[in-house]
Amino acid sequence: MGRCHEISYKYLCFNAFLMIRYSAPGKIILFGEHAVVYGEPAIAIAIDKRFRCEISKSGQNRTTINGLIFDPEKQNYLNCAMEKLGIDEELEIHTSSELISGAGMGSSAAVTVASIACLRGLTDDIDKKNIAKMAFEVEYEVQGNASPIDTSTSTQGGGIILSPTKNSGFLWSIKKGETTWNIHKSDIPKLNLVLGNTGVHSPTGKLVAKIKEFYKRSFFARDIVNQVGLIVQRGHEALKNEDLVEVGRLMDQNQHLLSCLGVSHPKLDALIDAAREHSYGAKLSGVGGGGVMIALTDEPEETSKAIEEAGGQAYILPSTNKGLKLE
Ligand code: PMV
């Protein structure tokens, strides 16, 4: 009996006629990146830029991705998802993405979430809680450390807040070692956000590992992480009150703390400074070390222009309530 057979009580076997297609969105983190890895709260919002994945059984005796031979080293998130699900069939995988990878837009989470849904052969009844949990395990394994913020936001869509306690809007909990994250829906008001891409590639795992060492060794780093947690709580209140001036001020403070932690970058600083002239506030979003920044503004056109003049690529960002979706 093949392995696929053994696990078929859980996952459908791919058959030649079954082609499954899912998409999942990227995200931006409004408050709390890095600190959330250590159990502090964080707030993210799904963005209307998606990763799409289509998987069927291969007609050849090898797995291909977009017509090329599947390389487990290059496709490490997909490969880890396949291993975790015990998939040993040859597959034909097609992907397309509107997200920039290695930039802090949650591309790896969207890849992981959409491909797990395809690999599980789900055609109805998406069990978001289990997909979010499994996607987190994949990110954790590939990166060596992670929080569930990206994977839960990509799975659920909309505004998401992670906190150590359970509050209203509770969706599910995810636990790793000593840390429990409670994931909640958060009704974030409509925000005008502009994203600026530095163009500096910054893979998540490397920087998260560096901060892990810093956190272990240094009281200073642990203190910054605690301070970020307090800012997130205040940011959540300000968002609920639709007090954009306060939200912007707290974004600036969050950025200052991220700089102290060593995850900003001269190009990020340049784009953030340029954007602030037309914004309530601005900060890096995601892992930092390059990647992207976001600005909260009433003047998205002017903010975009300032970001472009400072050498970045600017995007006016619509958010989305659509999380993981069968296409
Ligand atoms: O850069 P991204 O989109 O992978 O976001 C990483 C967010 C971190 O807080 C730095 C890591 C995590 O897993 O929470």
Q: In this structure, are 173 and 312 located in the same domain?
A: no
Q: For residue 14, what pLDDT is reported?
A: 53
Evaluate whether residue 323 is within a structural domain: no
Strand partners of residue 176: 179
Q: Which two tokens stand for residue 162?
A: 């992670």
The atom of ligand 1 lying closest to the CA of 288 is 1
Q: In this structure, are 177 and 219 located in the same domain?
A: no
d(CA 327, CA 313): 29
Helix (H) or strand (E) holding 213: helix 204-217
Evaluate whether residue 3 is within a structural domain: no
Predicted confidence band at 144 (pLDDT cuts at 50, 70, 90)? confident
Last residue of a domain, one of 187, 212, 230: 187
Q: In this structure, are 115 and 140 located in the same domain?
A: yes
Candidate of 27, 28, 33 to mutate for ligand 1, largest count of ligand atoms within 8 Å of Cβ:
33
Instruction: Check pLDDT > 50 for residue 8.
Output: no
Q: In this structure, are 238 and 297 located in the same domain?
A: yes
Supply the CATH number for residue 166's domain. Answer: 3.30.230.10
Question: What are the DSSP E strand ranges found in 230-306?
Answer: 279-285, 292-297
List the residue whose alpha carbon is closest to atom 14 of ligand 1: 147
pTM greater than 0.85 (yes/no): yes
Q: In this structure, are 201 and 183 located in the same domain?
A: no
Instruction: Check pLDDT > 70 for residue 147.
Output: yes
Q: For residue 211, what pLDDT is reported?
A: 95
Q: Which two tokens stand for residue 251?
A: 């974004």
Mean pLDDT, the chain, integer: 91
The arithmetic mean of pLDDT across residues 296-309, rounded, is 97
3 CA → ligand 1 middle, Å: 34
Q: In this structure, are 183 and 202 located in the same domain?
A: no
Q: In this structure, are 76 and 123 located in the same domain?
A: yes
**Residue 93: alpha-carbon gap to chain centroid:** 22
The atom of ligand 1 lying closest to the CA of 33 is 9
Last residue of a domain, one of 163, 187, 211: 187
Evaluate whether residue 7 is within a structural domain: no
Evaluate whether residue 1 is within a structural domain: no
- The tens digit of pLDDT for each residue in 169-191 reads 999 999 999 999 999 999 888 88
Q: For residue 125, what pLDDT is reported?
A: 67
CB within 8 A of 279, min separation 6: which ones?
194, 248, 295, 296, 297, 299, 303
d(CA 286, CA 234): 19
Give me the amino acid identity at 37.
Answer: V
Phi, psi of 18 (to 5 degrees): -90, 120
Q: For residue 2, what pLDDT is reported?
A: 34
* Active site residues per annotation: 150
49 class by beta-carbon count within 10 Å (0-12 exposed, 13-18 middle, 19+ buried): buried
d(CA 254, CA 277): 18
Predicted confidence band at 6 (pLDDT cuts at 50, 70, 90)? very low
Q: In this structure, are 156 and 44 located in the same domain?
A: yes
Q: In this structure, are 148 and 272 located in the same domain?
A: no
The atom of ligand 1 lying closest to the CA of 105 is 3
- The tens digit of pLDDT for each residue in 250-283 reads 999 999 999 999 999 999 999 999 999 999 999 9
Instruction: Check pLDDT > 70 for residue 13.
Output: no
Evaluate whether residue 4 is within a structural domain: no
Q: DSSP characters for 23-60?
A: EEEEEEEEE-TTGGGGT--EEEEEEEEEEEEEEEE-SS
Instruction: Check pLDDT > 70 for residue 218.
Output: yes
Q: For residue 181, what pLDDT is reported?
A: 97
Q: In this structure, are 21 and 139 located in the same domain?
A: yes
Evaluate whether residue 288 is within a structural domain: yes
Q: In this structure, are 120 and 21 located in the same domain?
A: yes
Last residue of a domain, one of 187, 205, 224: 187
Residue 120: domain span:
14-187
The atom of ligand 1 lying closest to the CA of 207 is 10
3-state secondary structure of 137: helix
Q: In this structure, are 70 and 164 located in the same domain?
A: yes
**Residue 196: alpha-carbon gap to chain centroid:** 16
Supply the CATH number for residue 275's domain. Answer: 3.30.70.890
Helix (H) or strand (E) holding 149: helix 149-156
The arithmetic mean of pLDDT across residues 50-77, rounded, is 92
208 CA → ligand 1 middle, Å: 8
106 CA → ligand 1 middle, Å: 7
245 CA → ligand 1 middle, Å: 26
Give me the amino acid identity at 290.
Answer: G
**Residue 128: alpha-carbon gap to chain centroid:** 15
Q: For residue 124, what pLDDT is reported?
A: 61
CB within 8 A of 197, min separation 6: which ones?
100, 103, 291, 292, 312, 313, 314, 315
How many domains is the chain partitioned into structurally?
A: 2
- The tens digit of pLDDT for each residue in 72-126 reads 999 999 999 999 998 888 999 999 999 988 888 899 999 999 999 999 876 666 7
32 CA → ligand 1 middle, Å: 10
Pocket of ligand 1 (CB under 6 A): 33-34, 36-37, 104, 106, 108, 146-147, 149-150, 204, 208, 286-287
